[in-house]
Amino acid sequence: MTDVPGASKSTTGTLYVVATPIGNLDDMSARALKVLGSVALIAAEDTRHTVRLLQHFGIDTPLAACHDHNERDEGGRFLARLQAGDDVALVSDAGTPLISDPGYHLVRQVRAAGIAVVPVPGPCALIAALSAAGLPSDRFIFEGFLPAKAVGRRARLEQVKEEPRTLIFYEAPHRILECLEDMEAVFGAQRPALLAREITKTFETLKGLPLAELRAFVAGDGNQQRGECVVLVAGWSAPEDDQAISDEALRVLDLLLAEMPLKRAAALAAQITGVRKNLLYQAALERQQAH
């Protein structure tokens, strides 16, 4: 497929999902510039923000708003343009659209209509932070923004307390300290974590410390409570000498024991939960003997 909109025209247009810089304008890709300069219309989260980006690069493509408050209603407008043969680009204020930004409903509508959706990849804050965090990156989960209120935030953190994969969150600057306080309370003071703040911008900060120390660092420096924040937290792992098995691991083990031999159930449960196989094997023996 060609990168140039309209170069190989079908009866319908194409929706291009275009990533834009999260701070440093030098991160704008040549392909993104080509697409934004060639489409018939750009659907933007905030036209006032995007027009400044376009002006910087000398692009005069028309803009239309596509944000959280109008996306469902206005999706038909963009769909009509695509069905008429026009190419449309979707952008957010910064980074990759749909990643904690608007665009999901439009993309779903367009795909449901059988129209091509083409990603134009580029900057994404969570991936940039993960690449430089020094935390395991082979398996991770992205939780987006936590609930704004403390009760909801702690409840969500409790749900992932024993998640073995690296955890990634976005957080608003005015809540970052409260967020770290709750993470320390739920995950423990010594859980490794990293704050990635203002990525690619002038005052970029990547600070990795145990949660208690990271919370203290942010509390002691008001500048760390400004700007765009990504928080990464190491996944849960039981200490080598810890004989405890989580309730979730035991639930998985019980489900597998009902379907397969003990040794196989213990091995598979270990793969799923990350708990040592010998601990699960012993637990399986005890559970069978109890019945």
pLDDT digits (tens, 9 = 90+) for 203-227: 999 999 999 999 999 999 999 999 9
Q: Report if residue 29 sits inside a domain.
A: yes
Same domain membership, residue 132 and residue 114: no
Structural domains of the chain, count: 3
Residues 33 and 57 sit within 8 Å (Cβ to Cβ): yes
**Residue 255 domain-assigned?**
yes
User: What is the signed CA dihedral for 138, 147, 199, 48, rounded to 10 degrees?
Assistant: 130
* pLDDT in the model for residue 158: 94
Residue 7: inside a domain: no
Task: Please tell me the predicted confidence (pLDDT) of residue 237.
Answer: 82
**CA R_g for the chain:** 23
Is the Cβ–Cβ distance between 49 and 79 less than 8 Å? no
* CATH classification of the domain holding 146: 3.30.950.10
How long is the chain?
291
Q: What pLDDT, on a 0 to 100 scale, did the predictor assign at position 1?
A: 47
CATH number where 88 lies: 3.40.1010.10
pLDDT value of residue 276:
82
- End position of a domain, from candidates 64, 91, 123: 123
| Strand order across the beta sheet in which 117-120 lies | 63-65, 41-44, 88-91, 15-18, 117-120
Final residue before a domain boundary, out of 106, 123, 140:
123
Flag whether 84 is in a domain: yes
Give the structural domain span for 163. 126-233
Residue 35 located in a structural domain: yes
Question: 75 and 55, same structural domain?
Answer: yes
Same domain flag for 153 and 89? no
pLDDT at 248: 86
Residues 137 and 196 in one domain: yes
Predicted local distance difference test score (pLDDT) of residue 97: 96
Predicted confidence at residue 282, as pLDDT, reads 85
Which residue numbers in the chain have pLDDT < 50? 1, 8
- The residues, any chain, with a CB within 8 Å of residue 128's CB and separated by 6 or more, are 22, 196, 199, 200
Nearest-angstrom CA–CA distance, 75 and 78: 5
Taking 3-state DSSP, the helix, strand and coil percentages for the chain, each rounded to the nearest 5, stand at 45, 15, 40
Do residue 222 and residue 253 come from a single domain?
A: no
The reported pLDDT for the residue numbered 152 is: 97
How far apart are alpha carbons 181 and 169 in whole angstroms?
Answer: 14
Contact residues for 181 (Cβ-Cβ < 8 A; gap 6+): 215
Judge whether 1 lies within some domain.
no
Per-residue pLDDT tens digits for 135-176: 999 999 999 999 999 999 999 999 999 899 999 999 999 999
- How high is the pLDDT of residue 239? 61
